[in-house]
Each structure stands twice: as C-alpha cells, then as structure tokens.
C-alpha cells in the first residue's frame, strides 16, 4: 500500500496544469470534507491542486482527531507522533499524485489541523514547504518535537486568529508571532474580532498570500510553473 493510502483523503485537481498545491488539515472532531469549500474561497480560479487528509483517530465526542487533547498547547506525545509520522509519509507520497513538489506546496489547517501544519512545516530536519497557513492554532509544545526555525529564514507563514477565541486563546497566536518574527520568517499575521472560526473577510487576503507564496516557491526551485492555454 502506498503511503498516500495510509490516510483517507479528498483531492481537488487544478482546472489546468497545477501551479502549486494546497494541503488543508481539518480541526478536532471534523473530517477531510470539512474544509473542502475553503479551497474554492482561497483559490477561486482553480490554479492549485488541493488535498485534504482525514485524521486517523476516532475519539469522543465523535469525528476525527489528530491527537489527544489533555491540555491546550501541549498535545499528547504518543498520539501526536503517530499522526505526525503518518502525515510525513503521506506528504512525501503526495507529489506522485499532484505532480507538484513540496517546495510549491502550502501546508495549511484550522485549529488542530493548524497545529499539525505548523509541526510538519516547521519540524527540524524536514524539508521546507512553500509556506504554512495556520488558522486558529498554535506551535505545539510536545516531548521530542522542536521547530527547526533556524533552517527556515524567509519561510512564508500566514496566520489568523480570533481575539475572542474560547477554544485556543489568541495568546497562542501572539506567542507564535514572536517566535516566528524572531527567526526571520516572512509572516502575514492577522487578528479578527471573533471566536474559534475562519473569518470569511480574510479569505481574499489569504488567497492573495497563497498565490504569491506558490509563485515564490516556484522561483526558489529555479523555474516557472507550467501553464496551458
């Protein structure tokens, strides 16, 4: 079995030759279907190949989970690492399906999915993606995990967080901002007056960031994305 089949997933092919790829990881208790509408909001012209995997854990009160939550900000190590390894293998196999290399792939997610996108995008020893899109999440503190920020100067990261979020406090976003800016990351940071959600008024800004990020990844690779028509 290919590593791509280790996680149930949905794919949204680009309308023509893909200029890049976007991976979206769902939040706690949701599924791979949850963020499918967001692909069209962020990439209305269908220039990117979209992929959304399902978290491997089924836990109370239902739905799918990337790890066990015992304390916000500090994922359970055993379940975190199990999902991390599965996602690592899945991401390595994804270019075989999309035809898009990791350096033109943005890793994104909401809530628990944002945590995993930070983890896979910033993890020490991992290749850098084109960018990280973290919505209402945090950089995890977990035994054995250390962000490789020193190897990510100039990495493009976008994050958005509600100032009244009752699930994951905006303080986590502000702490991530301080760490990322200190490391020289190219950061787009937005707060909005809201709760634990994706602010629809920011989707256009994030879509513009996404397009620029994929283009920057193509330039780093030393070539231009293929176009047809």
Domain annotation covers residue 168: no
Domain annotation covers residue 167: no
Angle separating helix axes 77-98 and 112-122, nearest 10 degrees: 70
Q: For residues 5 and 166, what is the distance between their CA atoms, to the nearest angstrom?
A: 35
What angle (nearest 5°) sits at the alpha carbon of residue 143, between those of residues 140 and 146? 60
For 101-151, the pLDDT digits (tens) are 999 999 999 999 999 999 999 999 999 999 999 999 999 999 999 999 988
pLDDT of residue 216: 86
Domain annotation covers residue 159: no
Tell me if 143 sits within 8 A of 118, measured CB to CB. no
Domain annotation covers residue 185: no
Domain annotation covers residue 177: no
CB hemisphere CA count around 104 (13 angstroms):
23
For 28-60, the pLDDT digits (tens) are 999 999 999 999 999 999 999 999 999 999 999
Q: For residues 51 and 9, what is the distance between their CA atoms, to the nearest angstrom?
A: 7
CATH number of the domain enclosing 74: 3.40.50.1820
For 199-210, the pLDDT digits (tens) are 999 999 999 999
Tell me if 6 sits within 8 A of 35, measured CB to CB. no
Q: What range defines the domain where residue 143 resides?
A: 3-152+202-221
**β-bridge mates for residue 10, sequence order:** 52
Domain annotation covers residue 172: no
Could you tell me the pTM of the whole model? 0.93
Label residues 61-100 b or e (16+ Cβ within 10 Å = b): eebbbbbebeeebebebebbbebbebbeebbeebbeebeb
Residue 72 clears pLDDT 60, i.e. is over it: yes
pLDDT of residue 228: 27
Q: For residues 16 and 4, what is the distance between their CA atoms, to the nearest angstrom?
A: 22
Domain annotation covers residue 119: yes
pLDDT of residue 34: 97
SS3 126: coil
Total of domains in the chain: 1
pLDDT range class, residue 1, cuts 50, 70, 90:
low
């Amino acid at each position: 079995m290919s590593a791509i089949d280790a996680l149930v997933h949905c794919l949204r092919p680009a309308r023509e030759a893909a200029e890049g790829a976007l991976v979206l990881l769902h939040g706690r208790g949701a599924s791979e279907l949850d963020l499918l509408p967001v692909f069209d909001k962020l990439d209305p012209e269908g220039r990117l190949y979209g992929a959304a995997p399902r978290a491997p854990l089924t836990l109370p009160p239902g739905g799918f989970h990337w790890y066990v939550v015992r304390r916000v900000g500090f994922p359970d190590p055993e379940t975190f690492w199990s999902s991390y390894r599965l996602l690592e293998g899945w991401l390595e196999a994804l270019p075989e399906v999309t035809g898009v290399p990791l350096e033109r792939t943005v890793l994104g997610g909401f809530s628990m999915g944002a945590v995993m996108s930070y983890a896979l995008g910033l993890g020490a020893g991992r290749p850098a993606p084109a960018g990280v899109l973290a919505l209402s999440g945090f950089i995890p503190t977990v035994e054995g995990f250390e962000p490789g920020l020193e190897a990510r100067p100039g990495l493009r990261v976008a994050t958005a967080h509600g100032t009244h979020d009752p699930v994951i406090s905006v303080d986590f976003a502000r702490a991530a901002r301080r760490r990322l800016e200190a490391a020289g990351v190219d950061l787009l940071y937005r707060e909005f007056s809201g709760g634990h959600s994706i602010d629809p008024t920011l989707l256009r800004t994030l879509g513009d960031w996404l397009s620029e990020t994929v283009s920057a990844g193509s330039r780093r690779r030393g070539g231009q994305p293929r176009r047809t028509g």
